[in-house]
Amino acid sequence: MSELHDLTALEQGDRIRAGDITPVELTEHYLERAHRLDDVGAFVHLGDDLARQRAFEIASIGPVGEGASPLAGVPTAIKDLNLTRGVPTEFGSPVFRGYVPEVSDAVTLALDEAGLVSLGKTSTPEFGSPCYTEPEGRPPAVTPWDRDRMAGGSSGGAAAAVAAGLVPVAQGSDGGGSIRIPASCCGIVGLKPTRGRISGFPMYGDPVGLATNGTLARTVADAAALLDVLAGRWQGDPSWAPEPSGTFLGATQREPGRLRIGALVEPIIADAQVDPEVRAAFDETTRMLADLGHSVTDVPVPISRDAVADFETCWEVLTALSTVPLDADQRAQVRPLTRWLGERGEARSGPEFGLAIGALRRHAAEALVALAPYDAVLTPTVATPPLPVGAIRNDADPAADFAAQKRFTPWTSAWNVTGMPSISLPLHQSANGLPIGMMLAARPAEEELLLSLSAQVERAHPWRGHTPPGW
C-alpha cells in the first residue's frame, strides 16, 4: 500500500474531499516526516502548533464546496523571504534572526485563503541572492539525490522539502532562476510564471521587474494547481498579467497541438562549459519533443551579451536595497557576497540605475521579437548536474563567487529579463543518478500553453515514480 506522501498533492486533496483522510491526519504525517527526515536542510522553522491549529480549522469546516481549491487541506511551506504574520521570517540572514512580521504578504494570504496548511518556513540564502542555499549558521540545503551536493538556490529549502517528500508542494521565488535552478538540482518541477502573474503586495520590493513568486512540485499538474492559488491581481499592484482563459490546472489536461519550439544550448549570459551529460540530455529532449509532433528548430542566442552588465547593475542595486537600512554592526554580520554586491549597488548613481533598467527593457524587447515565431523555447536549466556543497561559494573572493554562479546558471536569468513564463522539468539523470532538468519558456502570459506542453511531455516520459534515497 502506498504511503500518503506517495500521493500527489491533488490526489491528497481528492482524498480529503472524499473523507478518506482529514487535513489533521495529513498534517501530522508531514510534520512527523519533517522532524524525522529533514537531513536536507529544508526548513529553518517548523510551526507545529500553528499547523495543527490550521489543519483543525480546515477540518472543522467539513467538505469544501464547489469552486474551492483542489489543494484545500494539503500541507505546504513558505519561503523564508516571504512575510508571514506571527511566524519568524529571517530572510536567510543572521541580521534578522528572531524577526517576526506583523503582516503577511500576498502569497501567504493566498495560501491561507485557499485552505492550504503551512508547516513552516523553508531555507533560503541571505536575501535570496545566490544560486545556492547555504545560509549563515544553518545547514546547507542539499539535493536528496546526494546529500553532499547542493539543492540550488535561492528556493533550495523549498525544493529539497518537496523532493524529499516533506511537503507535497511549496512556493518559491525567482529573480534570476531561483525556482528553476533548485528544481533541476532536486529533480522536481519548478515554475516561474510571467511577470505580474502573482502580486508582490505589500512590499513591491523589485522595481526592475525581475522577481516573481512561483511553484515547486513533483508533477506539472500540482505546480499548475498551486499557481491557480497564487495567481491574481491585488488592488494597488503596479502591473499585472491578463487573466487566463480558464484554470492553469485545466490547461494541463489539454493537448497543446503541434508547436514550433526553438532549441538553444549555447550559454546566454556567460562563457560556460556545458557538461557533456547535460548536452546529451538536451539533445535527447529535442528528440522527445520532435517525437511528440512538434517542430524543433535551433535558434541563436536572442539576447545580446551587453545585457549582462545591465542585469548586474540592477542586481547590485536590488541587493543594496536590502543592505542600505542596516547599521554598521548589522552590515558586519552579512555575508561577504551580500556586502560586495550591496556596496557595488550603493556606488551606482540614480541615473546609472535608471539607464540600466531602460537598457534591460530594450534587451527584453529585442529577445521577445526574435523569439516571437516560436511557441516555446528549450534550453537546459543549469550547465552541470548539482555541484558539491561549497563548490560555488567563495567568501574570500565574492567576485569569483558571482562569476561561478553565472557559469552554473547561464540561461535562467534571460527569462527573468524578458518576463516570460518558464518551467524546469526533471526529465533526465546523470550516470551517477543526479537530476538534470530541462527548461521550457513561452511567450509572456502564455502559461496555459507552457503547462499544456509540459504536461504532454510528462505523460510521454513520466517521472513520478522516481524517488530519491530516504523517500
- Collapse the DSSP code of 331 into the 3-class scheme (helix H, G, I; strand E, B; otherwise coil) and give the result: helix
Contact by Cβ (8 Å): 292, 325: no
Start-to-end CA distance of the chain, whole Å, equals: 15
Q: Is the peptide bond before 193 cis (omega within 30 degrees of 0)?
A: no
Residue 309 to residue 356: CA distance in whole angstroms: 8
In 19-58, where do the E strands start and end?
43-46
Which positions ≥6 away from 430 have C-beta within 8 Å?
277, 385, 436
Among residues 286, 86, 123, which one has the least CA distance to residue 216?
Answer: 123
Residue 244 to residue 232: CA distance in whole angstroms: 10
Q: Is 79 a catalytic residue?
A: yes
Is the sign of the CA dihedral 96, 100, 104, 108 positive or negative?
A: positive
Task: Tell me how crowded residue 307 is: count the other CB atoms within 10 A of its CB.
Answer: 22
Active-site hit among 69, 79, 129, 454: 79
User: Would you state the cell numbers that stand for residue 250, as one nine-digit string?
Assistant: 485545466
Active-site hit among 69, 118, 154, 322: 154
Backbone angles phi, psi at 323, to 5 degrees: -100, -25
Residue 177 to residue 412: CA distance in whole angstroms: 5
Active-site hit among 93, 104, 129, 178: 178
Q: Is 154 a catalytic residue?
A: yes
Residues that are catalytic? 79, 154, 178
